[in-house]
Amino acid sequence: MGRPCRANVATRSGNECERSTADYLTDRGYHILERNFRCRGGEVDLIALDGATLVFVEVKMRRSLSRGAPIEAVTPIKQSRVRKAAQVYLAYSGQVFTRIRFDVVSVMKSGKNTDIIHLKAAFASF
């Protein structure tokens, strides 16, 4: 069958990382509402409730720091895409949330070690 292409390996690693992050957040009392919410012009990895706060979570993983820390990959352009998806989700859900937050979960995997850093309110909302 041959070796999977690089994109498929990266996608598989990303999906695995997002699942692990969802478990991490669930263990801390979050309720996961959506995974991989996509729309024209935007996407967000996880949407969750932290109490009464609606949280849009961007997950970034790295295996080394050669391309920078995971948090560095959440550029202003990426933040804009997450905000766009958040706006679409809010319209789609039909619910009103008085508190909204944008978090970033940074995952560093090296060998058997996994370090997770959860940055609450990592970037500004609308």
- Sequential DSSP letters for 3-67: PPPHHHHHHHHHHHHHHHHHHHHHHTT-EEEEEEEEETTEEEEEEEEETTEEEEEEEEEESSSTT
Across residues 106-112, what is the average pLDDT?
Answer: 85
- pLDDT given for residue 12 in this prediction: 55
- pLDDT (0 to 100) of residue 1: 46
- Domain positions in the chain are 6-119
Specify the pLDDT at position 11. Answer: 52
What is the rounded CA–CA span in Å between residue 103 and residue 27?
Answer: 16
6-119 folds as Trna Endonuclease; Chain: A, domain 1 (3.40.1350)
Q: What is the pLDDT of residues 9-53, one digit of tens each?
A: 445 556 788 899 999 999 999 999 999 999 998 999 999 999 999
Q: What b-and-e string marks burial along 85-109, b requiring 16 or more CB atoms within 10 Å of the CB? A: bbebbbeeeeeeeeeebbbbbbbbb
pLDDT at 8: 43
Measured at the CA of 94, the angle between CA 93 and CA 99, to 5 degrees, comes to 80
108 or 67, higher pLDDT = 108
Are the C-beta atoms of residues 106 and 73 closer than 8 Å to each other?
Answer: no
| pLDDT single digits (tens) 50-107 | 999 999 999 998 877 777 777 888 999 999 999 999 999 999 999 999 999 999 999 9
The answer to whether residue 4 scores a pLDDT higher than 70 is no
